[in-house]
Amino acid sequence: MRNFRFYAPTKVVFGKDTESKVGGLVKEQNCKKVLVHYGGNSAKKSGLLDRIYDSLKEAGIDYVSLGGVVPNPRLSKVYEGIELCKKEGVDFILAVGGGSVIDSGKAIGYGMVNDCDVWDLYERKAQPKGCLPIGAVLTIAAAGSEMSNSSVITKEEGELKRSCNNDFARCKFAIMNPELTYTLPQYQTQSGCTDILMHTMERYFTTVKNTELTDSIGEALMKTVIHNAKILMKEPENYDARAEVMWASSISHNDLTGCGTIGDWASHQIEHELGGMFDVAHGAGLAAVWGSWARYVYKTDVNRFAKFAVNVLNVPNNFSNPERVALEGIEAMENFYREIGMPTSIKELGINITDEQISEMAQKCTHDNTITIGGFQKLNKEDVEKIFQAAR
C-alpha cells in the first residue's frame, strides 16, 4: 500500500424529506445570496424547486436561479452562470440535480474567484486558487460529484470534454433523499449504476500490491451496486435499493475505494472523447468501451482481473488457469451490463464510428500523442485507437 491522504469534508444529510433542511445548511455557511442551479423541468414539475425555495426563504436566504444544464454540461452555460453570479452578487452555489449540474456549479464557482478564463483550469493551463462554496441536493445517483473533487465540462467548440480536480470544489454539504430518484427513466438509473461501478473499478485495477482492505471495500461496494441495480430493473420505487445505490454513488468517488492505490482512469478518458464528440450518456459510454479496454490490458496483471472475477462476479476460481478466470470475469461484467440494458459496444449506442473519428478522438485523448493515459497500463495514441476499434 502506498502513502495516501484521505479528505472527505462534505457533510452528508441522508434520508427522506432531507431537502427541507437546505435553508439551514446554507445559513451555516454564512452566505447571503445563493445561485440555485438545476437542469430541466423535472425539478420544477416535481415541486422540488418550490420546496427548496421555501426552505431558503424560511432561513432568510436570498436567491437567484439558473436552469438548463444538460448531460455532459456545457461551457457556454458555465459562462452564463458566472455572468449571472457576478451581476447578482452570489456568494454560494446550490446545485439541484446530478453530476452534470454539480459539475457545472463547480465550474461557475471556479470562474467566480479565479483571474483566468475558467476553461484554462480544465485545459490545465492554470491551477485553481479557490472556488465559491458549493452545496448539492442530489437527484441522480451516478457521478459522485457531491463528494468528489472532480468536475467535468464539455466545450462545444472542438467537442472537448475535460476535467478539473481540486479540493477547493468539494461540496460543503450534500442532501441525499433516495425518493428524489424514483421517477428517473430506467436507462438513466442504470447508466448511473454503471458510472458508480466504474468509479470503483478505475481504482480497483491497480498495479499496487497489498491493498487488501481497500480492495475489500471496493468489492463490497461493487457487489452491492450490482445486486441493487437488478432490483431496480423490476422495482424502480424500492426505497432500500435506491438508498444503497445513492450512498454507493458517493462512496465510490470520494476516494475511499482508492486509498493506497494508483487508479487507472483510461476508460474514463476514452469515454470523455466519445461523450465530447457524440454527447452520449456517460455511464452508457463507459459500458460500451470497458470490455475492449479490459481485454486489451488484462495481461498486465492477470491475477488482479481473476480476483475481480471471483470476488465481485462470482466466477468459479481455477487456480491452474487464472487467465481463463480473468476472461470469464470480463464476459460476466459485460453480461451484467446487457442485463440492465447497457451497451457493450459503440454500435449499441447507435453510433457507426468511422476510422477518421477514431483517429481524431485518440489524438485528442493523448494530446496529439504527447502523453499516455492509464495507470494500470500506459496507453499511447495507437493503443487508444486499437481499443476504439475493438469497441466499435
Rounded Cα gap, residues 230 and 384, in angstroms: 32
Q: Are 245 and 141 in contact (CB under 8 A)?
A: yes
CA dist 253 → 7, 124, 314, 337, 341 (Å): 12, 21, 24, 20, 23
Grid cell 475505494 — which residue? 257
How many of the other CB atoms lie within 10 Å of CB of 29? 16
- Indicate the pTM of the whole model: 0.93
Q: Which three cell numbers stand for residue 179?
A: 425518493
Q: Which three cell numbers stand for residue 188?
A: 438513466
Q: Which three cell numbers stand for residue 1?
A: 500500500
Torsion angle of C-alpha atoms 4, 366, 131, 25, degrees rounded to 10: -70
For domain 11-180, give the fold. Rossmann fold (3.40.50)
Q: What is the CATH number of domain 185-391?
A: 1.20.1090.10
Q: In tens digits, what is the pLDDT along the chain, a chain of 392 residues? A: 999 999 999 999 999 999 999 999 999 999 999 999 999 888 888 999 999 999 999 999 999 999 999 999 999 999 999 999 999 999 999 999 999 999 999 999 999 999 999 999 999 999 999 999 999 999 999 999 999 999 999 999 988 999 999 999 999 999 999 999 999 999 999 999 999 999 999 999 999 999 999 999 999 999 999 999 999 999 999 999 999 999 999 999 999 999 999 999 999 999 999 999 999 999 999 999 999 999 999 999 999 999 999 999 999 999 999 999 999 999 999 999 999 999 999 999 999 999 999 999 999 999 999 999 999 999 999 999 999 999 99
* Phi–psi pair at 154, nearest 5 degrees: -110, 125
Q: Which three cell numbers stand for residue 362?
A: 485518440
Rounded Cα gap, residues 100 and 102, in angstroms: 6
Rounded Cα gap, residues 153 and 137, in angstroms: 19
Domain residues of the chain, as ranges?
A: 11-180, 185-391
Rounded Cα gap, residues 78 and 80, in angstroms: 5
Looking only at Cα atoms, what is the longest distance across the chain? Answer: 67
